[in-house]
Structure 1
Amino acid sequence: MAYDEELAERIRDLIESGPTVTERRMFGGLSFMVDGNMALAVSGEGGLLVRVGSALHDRFVDDGSVRQAMMGNREMTGWVRVSAPHVEDDAHLREWVTRGVEFARSLPPKS
């Protein structure tokens, strides 16, 4: 399944552009990188993958619209999968983009 181009465009409208923000096609989706660190991705499976870090992970998982992100059978530690219906609302999408970008900015930049 191809990723949602409309969702990717909505993220582009929200995310700060500049030399430290890049996009990369990965794992059937489109990843948004901040300072070389992956912040979030429009998933090829629908919805959004957001990097929130291990410390905040459990705070966001609700077994409904936000669940543990998986790569095959392996849990992606520090990542959540946000359902497509949950990010149809611009305010919710903005919250998730902000969370992912803030976490990526908290990491040392990669060259």
Structure 2
Amino acid sequence: MAYDRELADRIRAVLSGLPVREVSMFGGLTFMINDRITATANSAGDLMVRCDPVRVEDLLDRDGAQWPSMRGRRMSKGWIVVESARVESGEDLRSWIEEALDYNAKASGGGPRPAA
């Protein structure tokens, strides 16, 4: 499985203290909380996050955010890929992970969240 190891380590640091399960999927390393996909580090260093489908349009306005495709088809609403250059700072990475955790907690009925 190919994935950006540096990005994966940075995601681990943001998710530190949470019950995370790491799984190979989506062509990268996926981080699951509450048995739900939260974020994926892919081989290009891009970050894919699971987010609230209601927020997708607003989130796509952020620099480097794109609607992902898989096998040539656009994925369903609620997924965003962020290009590697837009998650270089710890603040930017944390912001995207927070979006994913907010949705995860909502979808899981209030599961664990990290301290801000």
* Partner residue in 1 for 2:3: 3
Residues 45, 70 of structure 1: alpha-carbon distance in 2 compared, 3 angstrom cutoff: farther
TM-score by length of 2: 0.83
- The runs of 5 or more residues in structure 1 that have no matched partner are none
Contact 2:7 2:45 (8 Å CA) reproduced? no
Residues 63, 107 of structure 1: alpha-carbon distance in 2 compared, 3 angstrom cutoff: closer
Q: Describe the SS at the equivalent of 1:62.
A: coil
* Partner residue in 1 for 2:72: 73
Contact 2:26 2:40 (8 Å CA) reproduced? no
The code of the aligned residue for 1:6 comes to: E
Q: Describe the SS at the equivalent of 2:75.
A: strand
**Corresponding pairs, count:** 108
The code of the aligned residue for 1:53 comes to: D
Report 1:61-100 matches (<5 A).
Answer: 61-62=60-61, 64-77=63-76, 78-100=78-100
Contact 2:4 2:44 (8 Å CA) reproduced? no
TM-score by length of 1: 0.86
* TM-align CA RMSD: 1.9
The structure where strand makes up a greater share of residues is 1
Report 1:1-111 matches (<5 A).
Answer: 2-18=2-18, 20-62=19-61, 64-77=63-76, 78-108=78-108
- The runs of 5 or more residues in structure 2 that have no matched partner are 110-116
Q: CA deviation at 1:74?
A: 1.8
